[in-house]
Amino acid sequence: MPDSNQIQIQFSIADIQTLEFVIFNLPDIASLDKTKFPFKIEAGFFFEVENKIVGIDIIVDISADSAPNPIVCHMITRFKFLINNFNEAFTIKEGNITYPSQFLITLISISLSTTRGILLSKTESTNLRGIFMPIIDPSKLIMVTATDPNKAAE
């Protein structure tokens, strides 16, 4: 039975963008074992209170499985979620926003899965074809908070 204090948050995807995508030209990449390429994945979030938006930036760096592990691909995706009942779900006091952490984890999970698909689509006809972003626990990501969405991906 749901907790009577729980709020049913009503939300939808408002926007999805690829802010950055780069594949670095490394001539020997085709000969490397693509199953061993290390990924660095980070998430940042921001709020656009006036628009009832919670934003998530996913930052992905893929390194080659060779010394000194140069970055072979870099991507940043941005997701904006419209929170229909923003004022019920989030508390704003003295410029600080209190939010339900489990809900933020849900948004990160959606963003990670979509980023995985975007990466697959962007690399399918390149030497990086067959490199798949790993499935990770969204609650374990390094989080960066920004109130200005232009600084969240920096």
98-145 confidence digits (pLDDT tens): 888 899 999 999 999 999 999 999 999 988 888 899 999 998 875 555
Mean pLDDT of the chain: 85
pLDDT higher than threshold 60 for residue 40 = yes
- Give strand ranges (E) for the chain: 11-23, 39-48, 53-63, 71-83, 91-93, 96-98, 142-146
pLDDT higher than threshold 60 for residue 6 = yes
Say what the pLDDT of residue 121 is: 96
pLDDT higher than threshold 70 for residue 5 = no
Say what the pLDDT of residue 117 is: 97
Say what the pLDDT of residue 147 is: 45
Instruction: Using alpha carbons only, give the angle 41, 91, 102 rounded to the nearest 5 degrees.
Output: 40
Helix (H, G, I), strand (E, B) or coil at 51: helix
CATH fold, domain 13-129+139-144, is: Bacterial Protein-export protein SecB (3.10.420)
Say what the pLDDT of residue 144 is: 52
Q: What value does the mean pLDDT take over residues 1-25?
A: 84
Query: What does the domain layout of the chain look like in residue ranges?
Result: 13-129+139-144
Can you give the pTM of this predicted structure?
Answer: 0.85
29: phi then psi, degrees, rounded to nearest 5: -65, -30
Contacts by 59-62, CB closer than 8 A, 24 or more apart: 59/153, 60/115, 60/119, 60/133, 62/37, 62/38, 62/128, 62/131
Helix (H, G, I), strand (E, B) or coil at 153: coil
Q: Identify the CA nearest to 16 among candidates 117, 98, 96.
A: 117
Say what the pLDDT of residue 142 is: 54
Q: Are strands 91-93 and 96-98 parallel, antiparallel or unpaired?
A: antiparallel
